[in-house]
Structure 1
């Protein structure tokens, strides 16, 4: 039976869920109508054609990514919280993020996180170009880490594996190092370690600024 009183928000939520589960190619007007238990004409009525639906879905994703609420007692702690939120949001919706990128809205999507980072680096006393460098360095660290993380997840099984490469003979003067490198990496711990170290270094008042290039 065809359902009634369907709303635009429900259509977009169902479309987002389809893309998250199966990718953009799975998003067809008929498939979406079947998911919602309604007629295809009802989908067209609420969101227009498929291109209009994709545009609305991208805009919704950009808006959803705007809810960045830092937590922590110090600027460094709050920067780490922004990093964790952004990484989580990007990991939860890879297909939707790819659609945002394809439509040229990536920078706009990152703007709320950038603004949150700007607030924190200024609270730590940074100003001008140094503050801008700090914001971008942290943002690049977050996105770069995520790209490496996803590439590792998608890579085929390695032979020899990392654990086979790092036996005690590989580092005879530091067997503890070899044992640690033989264990699987813990992405969450490494992410926090790297962002905390970067934030602390960037926010140190007497840290020497790198020389300008060119």
Structure 2
């Protein structure tokens, strides 16, 4: 039985869920209609054709990624919290973010996060080019980290793996380092630690 009171927002939510799980190629009007228990004509009535639907999803993603709340008592803590929030959001919707990039709206998507970072680096006393460098350094760090994470997650099984490559010789006689580099990566811990170190360096008064 066709569903009665379907809304545009429900259509976009269902479409976003399909793209997040399976990528844009999996999003067809028939599959979306089946997910919603409605007729294909109803989907067209609410969002237009598939290209219009993809455009709407991109606009929705840009709006969703714009909201990253800063938390903490100090500018440094708040900058780190923005970075962690941005990493989380990018990891949750990689296919949607890729669609934003393909449509040339990446800079628009990042603008709200950049403005949050500007506010915090200003609160820390940075101005001008130095403040701009701090904002970009944090953004690039987050995006680069997420890209490395995604590549590692999608990579085929490595042979030899890291556990086979690190020993006393490659670790320069530092067995603890060799064990750590040969073991699994705690990405959350590494991200937080590296971001804190980056932000501390950027906000240091005598930094060049």
Instruction: Please give the range of the TM-score, normalised by the shorter of the 2 chains.
Output: over 0.9
Give the match for residue 75 of structure 2.
75
Whole-angstrom CA distance in 2 between matches of 1:166 and 1:86: 32
Q: Following superposition of structure 1 onto structure 2, how do residues 138-157 of structure 1 map, counting pairs within 5 Å?
A: 138-157=138-157
Cα distance, 1:6 vs structure 2: 0.7
Cα distance, 1:161 vs structure 2: 1.1
Cα distance, 1:175 vs structure 2: 1.8
Whole-angstrom CA distance in 1 between matches of 2:184 and 2:143: 21
| Structure 2 unmatched runs, 5+ | none
Cα distance, 1:167 vs structure 2: 2.0
Cα distance, 1:67 vs structure 2: 1.4
Give the match for residue 137 of structure 1.
137
Cα distance, 1:183 vs structure 2: 1.4
Task: Determine if the alignment matches structure 1 residue 181 to structure 2 residue 187.
Answer: no
Give the match for residue 102 of structure 2.
102
Give the match for residue 45 of structure 1.
45
Whole-angstrom CA distance in 2 between matches of 1:5 and 1:200: 52
Give the match for residue 196 of structure 1.
196
CA gap of 1:171–1:53, structure 2 versus 1, over 3 A, is closer
Whole-angstrom CA distance in 1 between matches of 2:23 and 2:172: 47
User: What's the CA shift string for 1:66-100, capped at 9, x where partnerless?
Assistant: 11111111111111100110001000001111111
Cα distance, 1:187 vs structure 2: 1.1
User: What's the CA shift string for 1:117-146, capped at 9, x where partnerless?
Assistant: 001100000001110011001100100111
Whole-angstrom CA distance in 1 between matches of 2:69 and 2:4: 37
The TM-score with structure 2 as length reference comes to: 0.97
| Structure 1 unmatched runs, 5+ | 209-214
Cα distance, 1:111 vs structure 2: 0.9
Secondary structure at the counterpart of residue 170 of structure 1: coil
Of residues 163-172 and 81-90 in structure 1, the stretch that sits farther from structure 2 once superposed is 163-172
Whole-angstrom CA distance in 2 between matches of 1:48 and 1:8: 10
